[in-house]
Amino acid sequence: MSTVYARRRRPAAIGATALLACAAVLTTGTPAQAAPPTPVSAATARAYLGELTVKAEGSSDGYSRDKFPHWSTQSGACNTREVVLKRDGTNVQQDSSCAAVSGTWKSPYDGGTWTAASDVDIDHVVPLSEAWKSGANSWTTAQRQGFANDLAQPQLIAVTDNVNQAKGDQDPAEWLPPTASYHCFYARMWVDVKHHYKLTVNSEEKSALTTLLNRC
């Protein structure tokens, strides 16, 4: 059984929220799907990886998180962060502003279990900066906003805040979730998202992903 950790002081969450419509009153209940959309299979991910353009990572010049407007309003008072918190948590209660006031969240990256939404970040599986250096620098702001708030792809997931902050903008050649049993799923998510958005991969990233997918 997972340990429920004590709440910690930490930097402002990178997180965000999005998905189901939130009522303008207190809501409760276990979500039907306490996880992001299921990514493609390992076999399909290997095929997708072979279709991605291999290219040296671009420059971060001009990058800003503001160029990826995130945590957009999804429904009523609910933004993307609150929707993902509702989706990925258990027995999540939200107030009239759609803020999660209670619930339980288990982070698949490290196995940590949290009962305060402030201890949870919403991770962009393919980080915004990584997307920028892989082709999103040429997108319109509207396209980048869609990427940053995408609930249809396996791109947003609720995880332990400090783990998300340790990840930063690193790709799978540089960082992987602490829980090794999640590496296959993580690689499938990463490739699925990059393929959907036609983003490039660098050679080290492709090599790491190939190894991970071959172990699935």
DSSP string, 63-127: --GGGS--S-EEETTEEHHHHHHHHHSEEEEE-TT--EEEEEEE-TTT--EES-GGGEEEEESS-
Q: What are φ and ψ of residue 63, in 5° steps?
A: -70, 140
Q: What are φ and ψ of residue 90, in 5° steps?
A: -120, 135
Q: CB 32: neighbour CB atoms within 10 A? A: 7
How far is it, in rounded angstroms, from Cα 201 to Cα 54?
Answer: 5
Q: CB 9: neighbour CB atoms within 10 A? A: 5
Is it the case that residue 29 has pLDDT exceeding 90? no
Q: Please tell me the total number of residues recorded for the chain in this structure.
A: 216
Is it the case that residue 21 has pLDDT exceeding 60? no
Q: Which of 14-28, 30-44, 96-110, 183-197 has the lowest mean pLDDT?
A: 14-28
In this predicted model, what pLDDT tens digit does every residue of 83-98 receive, in sequence order? 999 999 999 999 999 9
In this predicted model, what pLDDT tens digit does every residue of 33-70 receive, in sequence order? 468 999 999 999 999 999 999 999 999 999 999 999 99
Contact yes or no for 105/88 (Cβ under 8 A)? yes
Q: What are φ and ψ of residue 157, in 5° steps?
A: -155, 140
Confidence band, pLDDT 50/70/90 cuts, at residue 212: very high
